[in-house]
């Protein structure tokens, strides 16, 4: 079965501190992994995907197949990073996304 687990519903850090949002998945095969972000009063949007191995807005995420994890990291949090973050997976070639429950990240000034 496909499943995505985000263990933290809420995460609060101070501005300038490092932040890590955890994501673990279960999937029999090689899925595509994503992080989506939803800022206040904005639509859900793609933040980054594992296949591109890019850094967006200072965020990076590394796929660890051994630990079946795809944690999102940023070395220095900014206030504008406050948002809801969703980890998601999908089978290669498919459209159906399986989402985690989301983590609400709050950056304190």
| Contacts to another protein by CB under 8 A | 43-46, 49, 51-52, 86, 88, 94-102
Output 17 or 44, the one with its CB closest to another protein.
Answer: 44
Cβ 76 to another protein shortest distance, Å: 27
Instruction: Give the length of the chain.
Output: 109
Cβ 59 to another protein shortest distance, Å: 16
Output 101 or 108, the one with its CB closest to another protein.
Answer: 101
Q: Which of 61, 52, 51, 55 is nearest to 103 (CA)?
A: 61
Cβ 109 to another protein shortest distance, Å: 27
φ/ψ of 79, rounded to 5, equals -60, -35
Output 31 or 100, the one with its CB closest to another protein.
Answer: 100
d(CA 32, CA 41): 27
Q: Which residues have C-beta within 8 Å of that of residue 57, sequence separation ≥ 6?
A: 47, 74, 81
């Amino acid at each position: 079965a496909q499943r995505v687990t985000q263990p933290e519903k809420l995460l609060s850090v101070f501005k300038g501190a490092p932040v890590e949002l955890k994501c673990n998945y279960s999937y029999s095969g090689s899925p595509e992994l994503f992080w989506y972000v939803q800022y206040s009063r904005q639509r859900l949007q793609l933040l980054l995907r594992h296949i591109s191995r890019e850094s967006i807005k200072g965020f990076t995420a590394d796929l660890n197949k051994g630990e079946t994890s795809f944690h999102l990291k940023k070395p220095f949090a900014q206030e504008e990073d406050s948002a809801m973050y969703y980890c998601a997976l999908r089978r290669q070639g498919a459209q159906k996304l399986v989402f985690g429950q989301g983590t609400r990240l709050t950056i304190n000034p």
